[in-house]
């Protein structure tokens, strides 16, 4: 390898390292606002929701260490914001009955389609994977059975 190539590689490595350090300064919202009221659900349902859903769908998000490292922090914060925007169990008691019925229908659709929890989330959180039994417990709850 020529000296010029080595110098170019060193400069490129330094530039990438400086860029990675600089992006750490971009602020990211990783808050957990107060929980308005606990979700009233059967214990089995609550346990499943805490493990498989609350990180993205509540104000009880467990922010892992890598949620503080850009660019991963941007991606995780974006997913949590979107998840809370679709459904936030920490605000459940504030929803009227019609809204809760619509949410139950959406939960049922997502579960039946196997779209929740997200596959990208399950890669880092295998404990959140729903067994057939857990999925059935949530489906019965969503259907009011």
Query: How many Å apart are CA 79 and CA 72, to the nearest integer?
Result: 11
In tens digits, the chain (145 residues) has pLDDT values of 788 888 888 887 877 777 777 777 777 887 888 887 778 899 999 999 999 999 999 999 999 888 888 888 888 898 899 999 999 999 888 888 888 899 999 999 999 999 889 898 898 889 999 999 999 999 999 998 8
- Nearest 10 degrees: Cα torsion 57, 62, 65, 66: -10
Residue 112 CB neighbour total at 10 angstroms: 11
């Amino acid at each position: 390898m020529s000296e010029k190539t080595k110098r170019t590689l060193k400069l490129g490595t330094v530039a990438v390292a400086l860029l990675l350090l600089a992006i750490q300064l971009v602020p990211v919202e990783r808050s957990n606002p107060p929980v308005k009221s606990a979700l009233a659900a059967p214990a089995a349902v609550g346990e499943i929701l805490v493990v498989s859903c609350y990180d993205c769908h509540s104000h009880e998000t467990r922010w892992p260490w890598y949620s503080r490292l850009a660019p991963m922090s941007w991606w995780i914060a974006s997913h949590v914001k979107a998840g809370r925007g679709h459904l936030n169990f920490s605000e459940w008691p504030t929803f009227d009955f019609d809204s809760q019925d619509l949410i139950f229908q959406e939960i049922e659709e997502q579960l039946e389609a196997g779209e929740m929890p997200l596959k990208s989330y399950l890669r880092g959180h295998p404990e959140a994977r729903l067994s057939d039994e857990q999925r059935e417990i949530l489906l019965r709850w969503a259907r009011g059975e």
